[in-house]
């Protein structure tokens, strides 16, 4: 709309005035905020912006490919794709505590981001997709559990070690405004309206120790769940929906023989602010279809359960 186009022009002008001919680096996660920040800054300064996209091996099905397609191929943004799945898994070996896992993932991200930043000559600015709620909620309750919330992307401490100035063009915007801005900048609707995804990714959706085998099973189950939600018109009626991998085995029967395989839990919630949430009353027929597909299509899963816990006292994520 007209107002948003005006806003884009103004924001672009402000970024150009501040940055001049300097180079800017940005950690692109594929989430809404960093994506909109990247698109806006790219509109303002083109190739002076270098994005770093770190694939930590804990992303959703096809997420790395889609992000690279959208930014590198379609928008011609300069994106460095770091394929670091193995490195992250090595750091996570033997760690079962949720906060320690978050810490290990955050630390590895900062490490890799710093290495990449050091390779780019003459970078003066670090751009981040910080939005207004991040600014005001910095002492919020739900941030306590995940004390490192967003530290994975809003790379805390980095500006100091890299001696960079901070560029946060979304600092005054609420989430719905960020989405409208994203659309005005030509980002695809499915990216702009995607459910939130935590920085530590599948790392906190695999209970306990993270193993490559588990990430593969979870990615497949999650993709089936989301695909069926979209097809049934339920994706936009839920605020967040995802699969969780439970590393416990239970007995089943397949082709007349006994199976002993892992469990997938499905979580779908409705919420305004993510501080409290209700589990979504998905139709039984939809749950049945999702369960059948997951069990029939994924070798290694023989049981699916639906999470019927509200927040509080349960949290949205399982870790």
Residue 234, interface with ligand XMP (CB under 6 A)?
A: no
Judged by CB under 6 A, the number of residues near ligand XMP is 17
Binding status of residue 309 toward ligand XMP by CB under 6 A: no
303: contact with ligand XMP by CB under 6 A: no
Burial class (CB within 10 angstroms; exposed 0-12, middle 13-18, buried 19+) of 71: buried
Query: What is the Cα–Cα distance from 129 to 15, expressed in whole angstroms?
Result: 14
**Is 280 near ligand XMP (CB under 6 A)?**
no
Scanning the structure block, which residue is given the tokens 């063009």? 169
Residue in the block written with tokens 């990615």: 219
102 scored as a contact of ligand XMP (CB under 6 A): yes
Q: Binding of ligand XMP at residue 240 (CB under 6 A)?
A: yes
Which residues carry a binding-site annotation for ATP?
Answer: 29-35
User: Does 30 engage in binding with ligand XMP (CB under 6 A)?
Assistant: no
Shortest Cβ 49–ligand XMP spacing (Å): 23
Q: Is 61 in the site for ligand XMP (CB under 6 A)?
A: no
Distance CA 292, CA 305 (A): 12
Q: Please state the closest distance from residue 192 (CB atom) to ligand XMP, in A.
A: 17
Alpha carbon separation from 314 to 148, 149, 221, 268, 275 (Å, rounded): 19, 18, 22, 13, 11
Contacts (CB under 6 A) with ligand XMP, residues 182-201: 196, 198-200
Asked if 146 touches ligand XMP (CB under 6 A), the answer is yes
In the annotated binding site, the residues are 29-35
Distance of CA 113 to the CA centre of its chain: 17
Q: Does 267 bind ligand XMP (CB under 6 A)?
A: no
Binding test (CB under 6 A) with ligand XMP, winner from 149, 178, 218, 290: 149
The DSSP bridge partners found for residue 80 are 52
Q: What is the nearest approach in angstroms of ligand XMP to the Cβ of residue 245?
A: 15
CB nearer to ligand XMP: give 109 or 262: 109
- Alpha carbon distance 19, 78 (integer Å): 17
DSSP state of 71: I
Please list every residue from 105 through 144 that binds ligand XMP, using CB under 6 A.
Answer: 142
Report yes or no: 231 and 283 within 8 Å, Cβ to Cβ: no
200 burial class (0-12, 13-18, 19+ CB within 10 angstroms)?
buried
* Number of neighbours of residue 45 by Cβ within 10 angstroms: 22
Which residues in this chain contact ligand XMP in the complex, by CB under 6 A? 102, 142, 145-146, 148-150, 196, 198-200, 240, 274, 311, 315-317
């Amino acid at each position: 709309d007209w107002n948003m186009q005006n806003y884009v022009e103004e924001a672009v002008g402000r970024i150009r005035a501040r940055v001049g001919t300097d180079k800017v680096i940005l950690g692109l996660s594929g989430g809404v905020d960093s994506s909109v920040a990247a698109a806006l800054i790219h509109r303002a300064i083109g190739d002076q912006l270098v994005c770093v996209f770190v694939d930590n091996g804990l992303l959703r099905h096809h997420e790395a490919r889609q992000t690279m397609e959208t930014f590198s191929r379609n928008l011609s943004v300069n994106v460095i794709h770091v394929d670091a799945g193995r490195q992250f898994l090595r750091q996570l070996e033997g760690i079962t505590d949720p906060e320690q896992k978050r810490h290990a993932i955050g630390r590895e991200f900062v490490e890799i981001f710093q290495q990449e930043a050091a390779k780019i000559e003459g970078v003066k600015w670090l751009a981040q997709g910080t939005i207004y709620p991040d600014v005001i909620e910095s002492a919020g309750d739900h941030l306590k559990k995940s004390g490192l919330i967003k530290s994975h992307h809003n790379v805390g401490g980095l500006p100091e070690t890299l001696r960079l100035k901070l560029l946060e063009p979304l600092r005054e915007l609420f989430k719905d405004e960020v989405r409208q801005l994203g659309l005005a900048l030509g980002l695809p609707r499915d990216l702009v309206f995607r459910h939130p995804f935590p920085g530590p990714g599948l790392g906190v959706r695999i209970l306990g120790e993270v193993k490559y085998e588990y990430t593969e099973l979870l990615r497949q189950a999650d993709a089936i769940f989301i695909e069926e939600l979209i097809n049934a018109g339920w994706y936009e009626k839920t605020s967040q929906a995802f699969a969780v991998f439970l590393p416990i085995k239970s007995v089943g029967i397949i082709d007349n023989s006994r199976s002993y395989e892992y469990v997938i839990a499905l979580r779908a919630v409705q919420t305004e602010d993510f501080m409290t949430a209700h589990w979504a009353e998905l139709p039984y027929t939809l749950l049945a279809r999702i369960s059948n597909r997951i069990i029939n299509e994924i070798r290694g899963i023989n049981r699916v359960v639906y999470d019927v816990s509200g927040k509080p006292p349960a949290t949205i994520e399982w870790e």
